[in-house]
Amino acid sequence: MSSTFYQTPAIRIRLSAVIGVFALISCGMLVRSTWIQIWGDARLENLAKKQFQSKILMKPRRGLITDRTGEPLAINLETSSLVGSPAKILKSRSTLHLLARTMNLSPKTLEKRLDPKKSFIWFERHVSDERMEHFKKTGIIQANGDMPEGLWVVKEMKRVYPHNGLAAPLIGSVNVDTEGLEGVELWKNSLLQGKSASFDAFKDALGRPTLYNSSAQANMKDGQNIELSIDASLQYSVEELLESSMIKTRAQSGMVVVMDSETGEILALAQSPAHSHVRKIMALTDGYEPGSTMKAVLISSAINKGIMKLSDSLYGHLGKFKIQGRTISEAEAHEKFGYITLKKMLEVSSNVVAAELALKVGAERYVASLREFGFGAKTGSQFPGEISGWMPAQPKNIKPLTLATMGFGQSIMVTPMQMLRAYAAFSNGGYLVEPTLLKRADGEHAKKIQLLKPSTVHDITQALVGVTEGEKGTGHKARVEGYHVAGKTGTAQTVDPRTHRYSNSRYIASFLGYPAGVKHPVTILALLDNPKGIYYAGETAAPLFSEVLKATVSRFSIPATEAVEIKLANQPTPAPSNTDDVQSIQTARSSAMSTAEIVAQSVESVHEVNIDNPVMPSLSGLTPQEALRALKPFAPLLSIHGFGLIKRQTPESGAILAPNVKVSLYLEE
């Protein structure tokens, strides 16, 4: 019956049709497979590549950040990161449990976090050496270096700051992908990060990518190095001095900025607190009312425009000056000045006379001078976040009371960098220069604008020296032996945010100045916000300025311009025998000889008196350059350790010096 069934014509036709269909399908498959083998298929090739190839973005080496001497401030170090393929990990329960134990998670928690659609995920970035050892102990990394399927370790770069927090607000920081977040790292991120490139990579049997197209690296470009204008050694000293001053004065915040007066390069920039939640360069981003430091700008404007001379006098109203129903008083109630010269006004820091001078100059001329000094505009540093400050927009509308208070630095908002640049013009011969946080390239000249006449610079410097050397000067504690310090104190009231009135308990103390007549002019700002106890700038900011100036002239070996008394051990100073001797001593002290010349003469005199047994002089407090000149007659074998001023020496002062003696100098570090 079965045989009869298959012999039915209908059944034979159906079977023939089915066989024919399958034969056609087989032929089609054969033809298609032959076509694919010979000519290929783009769609299938792409599917295959997705299984065995992947695109990997390779980042270039980030550029370095260095100080002006090439000292690295931000570098790159190679580190390891743990990555994996969620799809492969989820297929292996053993790998899932092993990874969960390593990451201190339950397998269920880890499983929920893994997306099976993803082929790549970061598990831990920038793994420490201790953590890598932990991976080996848990079995993530086996003894032969192999890892479970779906896991692998990749090499990448991380940002490291070898000097820890040195100049941290300026340098800034990066994220885990080494992209700039703040400071120079953000400002110059486009130059530092370089150019990335994509690489085609095969995956091995464990799902780990392996590079195969090395020629693609030609498209990748490493980041550019950035050379800052700051000097790391000076920066370290200045930060230490600022922190010490913050402790002594219990100030809320503070800053110190050192500028090369000729080039505008910032040689040191320290601020405290340096590790706040949001880092910023307060010298550029924060405004304040400068107080009495603005009086020097006012006087220079009056002299430069021919309105008054330094020897001209104005009436001090015996300490109280009424205008528009308000009374302007001196900082101290006992100060009751009559007619005093402009030079004396700056020396004693008279608010009343400064107000009178501002009224005499007039609103339009005074505001025009302030704008010439760069107030009310950005300094040109190009650092992100810099503000312009604030000045009255319409000089004609300025009321007499406002103009009077502008004379002694109130009713106007400036940035510390603007004030520093203004005083740099007094220091460099009358030129307004653009400040820069980047070292200028060889042959690059700073942009300068002639601002003051040479005679004006001479007069204002003379007046500012009176602040530190005058009998009633407010800046005596800013002095540095061997230098004429020109500078001005400023103790400015700040506005209470609750009452919107000037506070009687919170002040900003500042000192701005420079060593006069030196070959390498520098300008320094020392500022303390809200010092507790004695808050006057002459007692808080001026001593800080003095210490910073000492560190600066030592670091850059800026020769002294005045005689410095060098005491030689076991060599008592003979009393003058007659008036001629007294006169000769006074003449010698008043001569403009450098410290090194005085030391050399002292040593030479000792050599002449005791030619057989020359005596080792005391070199404590000198710069290395000055010490070298002093010891030149002895031709010693000299070794120098550290940087700064000389703190200790061997042999000690008073020791007998033999020929070719070995002398070791230990500097402040």
Task: Give me the mean pLDDT over the 562-590 stretch.
Answer: 45
226-227 and 209-211 beta bridge pairing: unpaired
Cβ distance 485 to 513 under 8 Å? yes
Is residue 246's pLDDT more than 80? yes
User: What amino acid occupies position 104?
Assistant: N
Residue ranges of the alpha helices (H) in 443-564? Answer: 454-469, 541-555
Cβ distance 488 to 348 under 8 Å? no
Confidence of residue 548 (pLDDT cuts 50, 70, 90): very high
What pLDDT, on a 0 to 100 scale, did the predictor assign at position 203?
Answer: 55
User: What amino acid occupies position 28?
Assistant: G
Cβ distance 363 to 396 under 8 Å? yes
Q: Which two tokens stand for residue 54?
A: 């992947």
- Top pLDDT among 41 and 314 is at 314
- 307 contact partners, CB below 8 Å, separation of at least 6: 301, 360, 361, 365
Helix (H, G, I), strand (E, B) or coil at 202: strand
Is residue 598's pLDDT more than 60? no
What pLDDT, on a 0 to 100 scale, did the predictor assign at position 595?
Answer: 42
Cβ distance 490 to 509 under 8 Å? yes
- 50 contact partners, CB below 8 Å, separation of at least 6: none
Peptide bond into 636 cis (omega under 30): no
- Top pLDDT among 315 and 569 is at 315
Is residue 4's pLDDT more than 90? no
What pLDDT, on a 0 to 100 scale, did the predictor assign at position 594?
Answer: 44
Cβ distance 330 to 358 under 8 Å? no
CA separation for the pair 227, 438 (Å, rounded): 6
Residue length of the chain: 669
Is residue 170's pLDDT more than 70? yes
User: What amino acid occupies position 632?
Assistant: K
* CATH number for the domain whose boundaries are 232-274+287-555: 3.40.710.10
Confidence of residue 585 (pLDDT cuts 50, 70, 90): very low
Residue 502, phi-psi category: left (phi > 0), alpha (psi -120 to 50), beta (remainder): beta
pLDDT in tens, 182-239: 999 999 999 998 887 655 555 555 555 555 455 555 667 888 999 999 999 999 999 9
What pLDDT, on a 0 to 100 scale, did the predictor assign at position 366?
Answer: 96
Task: Give me the mean pLDDT over the 40-63 stretch.
Answer: 65
Q: Cα-atom radius of gyration of the chain, to the nearest Å? A: 38
Residues paired with residue 180 on neighbouring β-strands, in sequence order:
174
- Top pLDDT among 117 and 349 is at 349
What pLDDT, on a 0 to 100 scale, did the predictor assign at position 276?
Answer: 52
pLDDT in tens, 300-349: 999 999 999 999 999 999 989 899 989 999 888 788 999 999 999 999 99
Q: Does 56-227 match 232-274+287-555 in CATH topology?
A: no
Is residue 175's pLDDT more than 60? yes
CA separation for the pair 152, 84 (Å, rounded): 6
- 421 contact partners, CB below 8 Å, separation of at least 6: 259, 264, 373, 374, 379, 432, 433, 435
Residue closest to 556 by CA, chosen among 521, 528, 525, 600: 521
- Top pLDDT among 291 and 620 is at 291
Q: Give the range among 162-176, 277-291, 393-407 with minimum mean pLDDT.
A: 277-291
pLDDT in tens, 463-515: 999 999 998 899 999 999 999 999 999 998 887 777 767 777 789 999 999 99
Confidence of residue 578 (pLDDT cuts 50, 70, 90): very low
- 131 contact partners, CB below 8 Å, separation of at least 6: 124
Q: What rounded mean pLDDT belongs to the chain?
A: 83
CA separation for the pair 429, 266 (Å, rounded): 18
Task: Give me the mean pLDDT over the 273-293 stretch.
Answer: 84
Residue ranges of the alpha helices (H) in 610-662? Answer: 624-631
Helix (H, G, I), strand (E, B) or coil at 662: strand
Query: In this structure, which CATH number among 3.20.20.70, 3.40.605.10, 3.90.1310.10, 3.40.50.720 belongs to the domain 56-227?
Result: 3.90.1310.10
If one counts every other C-beta atom within 10 angstroms of the C-beta of residue 356, the result is 21
Tracing tokens 């002019």 back to the chain, one arrives at 521
Confidence of residue 568 (pLDDT cuts 50, 70, 90): very low
Is residue 60's pLDDT more than 90? no
Confidence of residue 83 (pLDDT cuts 50, 70, 90): confident
Distances (CA, A) of 88 to 32, 122, 152, 225, 252: 32, 14, 12, 41, 56
What pLDDT, on a 0 to 100 scale, did the predictor assign at position 142?
Answer: 83
Confidence of residue 107 (pLDDT cuts 50, 70, 90): confident
CA separation for the pair 107, 94 (Å, rounded): 10
pLDDT in tens, 408-421: 999 999 999 999 99
Residues paired with residue 425 on neighbouring β-strands, in sequence order:
none
- What's 427-468 look like in SS3? HCCCEEECCECECCCCCCCCCEEECCCHHHHHHHHHHHHHHH
Half-sphere exposure of 98 (CA within 13 A, CB side): 20
pLDDT in tens, 609-639: 344 556 778 887 777 767 776 776 666 777 7
State the Cα angle at 463 between 458 and 467, rounded to 5°.
Answer: 140
What pLDDT, on a 0 to 100 scale, did the predictor assign at position 209?
Answer: 55
DSSP per-residue string spanning 125-168: EEE-HHHHHHHHHHTSS-TTS---TTEEEEEEEEEE-TTTTTTH
DSSP per-residue string spanning 344-374: HHHHHT-HHHHHHHHHHH-HHHHHHHHHHTT
What pLDDT, on a 0 to 100 scale, did the predictor assign at position 642?
Answer: 66
Q: What does DSSP assign to residue 385? A: T
Is residue 14's pLDDT more than 70? yes
- What's 238-263 look like in SS3? HHHHHHHHHHHHCCCEEEEEEEECCC
Confidence of residue 78 (pLDDT cuts 50, 70, 90): confident
Confidence of residue 572 (pLDDT cuts 50, 70, 90): very low
Cβ distance 626 to 599 under 8 Å? yes
**In the chain, where the domains are located:** 2-40, 56-227, 232-274+287-555, 579-667
What pLDDT, on a 0 to 100 scale, did the predictor assign at position 597?
Answer: 47
Number of H helices, E strands in the chain: 23, 24
